[in-house]
Amino acid sequence: MVMDIAAIKRLLPHRYPFLLIDRVIELEPRRRIVAIKNVSVNEDFFNGHFPQRPVMPGVLIIESMAQASGLVMLTEEEHRGKIPFFTGIDNARFRRPVIPGDQLRIEIEVEKIRGNVGVVQGKALVDGEVAAEARLMFVLAD
């Protein structure tokens, strides 16, 4: 399943400037997702991080993985309209900086989903090279 920004906005409650997913290129509900975030020099966070050497904050890379994780659950009818809350992170590692002009490929593999709770393993890559990785936990709430 492929999703454009309009389809993503129908499922995720996030909006500019905090919507960090531009496109979904692969999706297997309850199993995996591959999403894209195009990193533009016009992003607000680059104004202060850092003006002379813009680098995407690591926490926003992790947030983009969390948003993709939420989409895995929100594509299911029984979860539509819920809000995904990021509840935990383990083993986060940042391997390379993400800079303006990069395209972030977010790959999420579901480890388990039980009710409204999920655990996933996520990677964010640029040009096939891992920029960040982490194990994430989330819950869907009304």
Asked if 79 is an active-site residue, the reply is: no
Cα Rg of the chain (Å, integer): 14
From the candidates 23, 49, 79, 105, give the one annotated as an active-site residue: 49
- C-alpha 104/C-alpha 91 separation (Å) is 20
- C-alpha 47/C-alpha 72 separation (Å) is 32
Amino acid found at 124: A
Q: Is the dihedral of CA 133, 28, 137, 19 positive or negative?
A: positive
- C-alpha 93/C-alpha 141 separation (Å) is 28
Q: Give SS3 for 48.
A: coil
Active site residues: 49
